Amino acid sequence: MSDINWGLIRSGSTFEHLICALIRLEDHEARLYVRPGKDFAQDARSGDGLTIYQMKFHQNESTSSAIKDAKNEATKIAKYQSTPGPAQEVWRGVQKWILISNVAFNPTDELKWNKEVKPEFDKLGLTATYWEKSVIETKLLKYPDLKQAYFGGETRVFLGIAEAREQVQLQEFSHPHALDTCYQGREKELEQYKNFLLNDSKKILVVHGAGGIGKTRFLLEGAETQALPDDWEILWANVATMMTNPSWFMGLIPERPTLLLIDDPDDAEVLKKLVEQISVGRAKTWKVAIAVRSPNDPVLKYLQKKRTGQIVEQLPLEPLETNAAVAFCQELLEFGVLQEQTADWKTQSATWIAQHYDRYPLWMAIAVKLLESKGNLETMPQEADGLASEYLEEILTQQQNIPREQVFNLLRWTALFNTVNREDAAVIEWLRAKVGCRNPTELQRYFDSLITRKVIFERGAGNRLLKIKPDVLADYIAILYEL
């Protein structure tokens, strides 16, 4: 009986990243195409170009769904093969097609595959096979580090780009569609991102800017548009997990150019090992893009030291230009209840928001969300502090099962700590007394309520680290109450 718990793979993006890592270990030269946009029914291609891999995650683990998917893919491929143009070219020379799914095939399913799927691909000149659950498990036996990373029950050190975007989307509080808008107004910065990737002498790109200016999305968009098309592997770091796992670099594939994304690290400790690995260690083919909040950030100051400064490049982000800011707001207005308003009204509202909230994407997204509830501009706050005040008031009001003063105190002291370790008994006891809870269990219930409300977020191994997001809200609370 297998010791692999497939219940730990909860989404298609996680499954795809697992399979991509497995394919790359099997074939260092393989090309992976799991990214936004269409790649003509190819999720990955072998290094010799003869084999195409197609990944399908089935939440219900239904073999009938997997076989149906295979037949649908055959129909698509037939169209690509017969239509002159790019699609036809990418399928030229392919000999084998492999469906990779998390289902378990039995002998009856195999007979059905041979009867219904294989003939359809034979007509296309392709041999159709599959990796089902037992095949994947057998392959994982060769790579215990990979198996441990996904099925060891611990928070993984690295996420794939699709998983990272999914995680950021889940944490998005400002507007549910903020990440769905077209990326606007960063052409020059993206060009610098590209040049950094091409520059062999630079290893670390430090993106800095004020809270709310869009650093996290810039990391993602830059990786997807500038690195993925050139076959870089993209990894998103869980920094807190890297700090507790000193051998995180042991499972790396040195031959693979990799871009590591690090969003707002708390301190420079993890970077010491990282600099060592990208300088002379196993990760020497890697580059790193890091987002920090300020040119005075201690992480950036560490990277500017003489020993590392020569491999570091800085990229400051400024507020969006007016045209890009207005376009961002206009697109957001098309997602919600205000989409029925006239085009002139939406243009005027978008322009007003861009002018009043400093052209910062986060504040503009919050403003659009607030406008959706208010319905008009007359009662909107005139500046970003007013938005933060209204949002804080909404938080305090909505925690109906917790006394308002205790919610207020918990947010105050969490902002002071910056990051709270819920496994640190001394800190939890200190907070319990300050907040006025009867016991640590009650305090944890308060935290859980704010986590559900997407005010406090969990991260690190075992989700033990708690932090107010966005940082600009924590800053507002700290400044407001002079912590």
Percent of the chain with pLDDT over 70: 90
Count CB atoms within 10 A of the CB of residue 369.
Answer: 20
On the question of pLDDT at 1 being above 80, the answer is no
pLDDT band of 191, cuts 50, 70, 90: very high
- The whole-number average pLDDT for the span 388-411 is 84
pLDDT mean over 168-175: 78
Model confidence at 483, pLDDT cuts 50, 70, 90, reads very low
Burial 159-195 (b: 16+ CB within 10 A, else e): bbbbbbbbbbeeebbbbebbbebebbbbeebbebbbe
Confidence of residue 222 (pLDDT cuts 50, 70, 90): very high
- What percent of the chain is predicted at pLDDT more than 90? 42
384 and 434 Cβ atoms separated by less than 8 Å: no
In this prediction, residue 250 carries a pLDDT of: 54
pLDDT at 102 over 90: yes
Cis peptide before 470 (omega within 30 of 0): yes
- Measured CA to CA, the distance from residue 354 to residue 365 in angstroms comes to 10
Q: In the predicted model, what is the mean pLDDT of residues 384-394?
A: 86
Give the pLDDT mean for 6-11: 86
**pLDDT value at residue 143:** 81
Q: Does domain 389-480 have CATH number 3.30.70.120?
A: no
Q: How confident is the model at residue 255 (pLDDT cuts 50, 70, 90)?
A: low
Distance (Å, rounded) from C-alpha 253 to C-alpha 168? 26
- Hey, CA dihedral for 147, 150, 155, 158, is it positive or negative? positive
- What CATH number has the domain spanning 6-151? 3.40.91
Phi, psi of 425 (to 5 degrees): -60, -40
Segment 193-200 mean pLDDT: 94
The yes-or-no verdict on residue 136 having pLDDT over 80 is: yes
If we measure between CA atoms, which residue out of 481, 472, 473, 474 comes closest to residue 420? 474
pLDDT of 399 reads 73
Average pLDDT over residues 178-182: 87
| pLDDT winner (highest mean) among 321-330, 369-378, 459-468 | 321-330
pLDDT band per the 50, 70, 90 thresholds, residue 179: confident
**Mean pLDDT (the chain, rounded):** 86
Give the pLDDT score at 251: 52
User: Which residue type sits at 203?
Assistant: K
Distance of CA 382 to CAs 104, 168, 354, 365, 386, Å?
58, 28, 11, 15, 7
- Please tell me the predicted confidence (pLDDT) of residue 482: 59
Q: In this structure, what token pair is assigned to residue 232?
A: 């870089």
73 with 41: CB under 8 angstroms? yes
22-47: per-residue pLDDT in tens? Answer: 888 788 778 877 655 566 778 889 98
pLDDT at 130: 94
State if pTM tops 0.85. no
Q: Does pLDDT of 336 surpass 60?
A: yes
How far is residue 448 from each of residues 291, 411, 442, measured CA to CA in Å? 28, 13, 10
Instruction: Give residue-wise pLDDT tens across range 265-278.
Output: 876 777 777 777 77
Structure tokens at 426: 């001394």
CATH fold for domain 158-316: Rossmann fold (3.40.50)
Whole-number pLDDT of residue 245:
63
